[in-house]
Amino acid sequence: RYHEDYIERDQFWQIYDQGATGAIVGERYQLDNVRRQESEAFSLWIKDEIKTGKLTVTPGVRFEFIDYFQRDYAEDRTIVGDRASLAALRAAATSTTSATDLQEVIPGISFNYELSENQVIFGGIHKGLSVPGPRSAIAGTDIEERIGYELGTRYRCGELQTELVGFFTDFQNILNTNAGTGVGDSAVN
């Protein structure tokens, strides 16, 4: 699988001038936070299914290759009176580039064992990850890693089907601690 993504931030401040009566009498502009970030990712995975009697084992491994690129523009903080002058500042801005890459191996294995015609047990251990965006990766933020464990059983009798599963996930280096319930550091190392 090949994937590429980019973001171009061409932000500016729009400053409104207000007269004594409260009316807007003019506006000015200032560059802010101008940059381009890119990621190119290639993933390859291999999986096999091994059956022996009532046991099926499925090992697999995924390989991730990600190239990050960033261009930051030196912003002229001059306040200008129109958008054409703002565009001229942007066009004249010098830039610096930086890049890094990431390679990861992500293994996993699962099993399924038929206890009877109606019941199976299953489980697995799988590595997972979340990668930082280009700006964070180039700044040295590590990936978020986790190991997921699961064990369960399924029972089927006619129209009745039940499933009971237990799972545990062990996280390392959580990238985002804010789950919408408060404040958090979005780049925890």
Q: How confident is the model at residue 154 (pLDDT cuts 50, 70, 90)?
A: very high
Gap between the Cα atoms of 71 and 97, Å rounded: 4
> Taking the model in full, what pTM does it have?
0.70
Query: Is the pLDDT at 89 greater than 90, yes or no?
Result: no
pLDDT tens, residue by residue, 42-77:
999 999 999 999 999 999 999 999 999 998 887 777
14 CB neighbour count, 10 Å cutoff: 10
The band of 184, judged by pLDDT with boundaries at 50, 70 and 90, is: very low
Nearest residue to 67 via CA among 22, 102, 110, 26: 102
* Per-residue confidence (pLDDT) for residue 182, from 0 to 100: 52
Distance, in Å, from the CA atom of 110 to the CA atom of 96, rounded to the nearest integer, reads 46
User: For residues 12 and 10, what is the distance between their CA atoms, to the nearest angstrom?
Assistant: 7
Neighbouring C-beta atoms of residue 99, cutoff 10 Å = 13
